Amino acid sequence: MLESRIISKVSGMVKASESVILEKVDYTDQNNELRVKNQRSDFMGEVKNLKSITKERNILFVQEVKKVREDEIETGSFYSFLHIIQKRYP
């Protein structure tokens, strides 16, 4: 009888411990999942930022090339074109 009560109590303690461990594992998994989502979100935000910067720089570059070509046509100076491009976009 005493043995069965001890077994019952130990069994209850094991189940309670299992429950606590499983809750902690679930909580850790949820935290890891949230952290991964946040990191992905941050990464995608940086990618979008870099894309917009690249697009803006390309637009400015094309505008500068057009401007220099117009100046080149007016002055006939190809070297000024190269000099300006190298100076602004090293």
Span 5-34, pLDDT tens digits: 888 888 888 888 888 888 888 888 888 888
Domain hosting residue 59, numbered range: 2-88
Task: Count the domains in the chain.
Answer: 1
What rounded mean pLDDT belongs to the chain? 82
pLDDT value, residue 56: 92
- Indicate if the alpha-carbon torsion angle 19, 22, 26, 28 is positive or negative: positive
pLDDT of residue 40: 86
Predicted confidence at residue 12, as pLDDT, reads: 86
Residue 86 has pLDDT above 80, yes or no: no
77 DSSP 8-state letter: -
Determine the Cα angle at 60 with ends 62 and 44, to 5°. 110
Q: How far are the Cα atoms of 20, 33, 45, 56, 58 from residue 69, in angstroms, in the given order?
A: 73, 53, 36, 20, 16
64-75 pLDDT, tens digit each: 888 877 776 666
Locate 78 and state its tokens. 């190809």
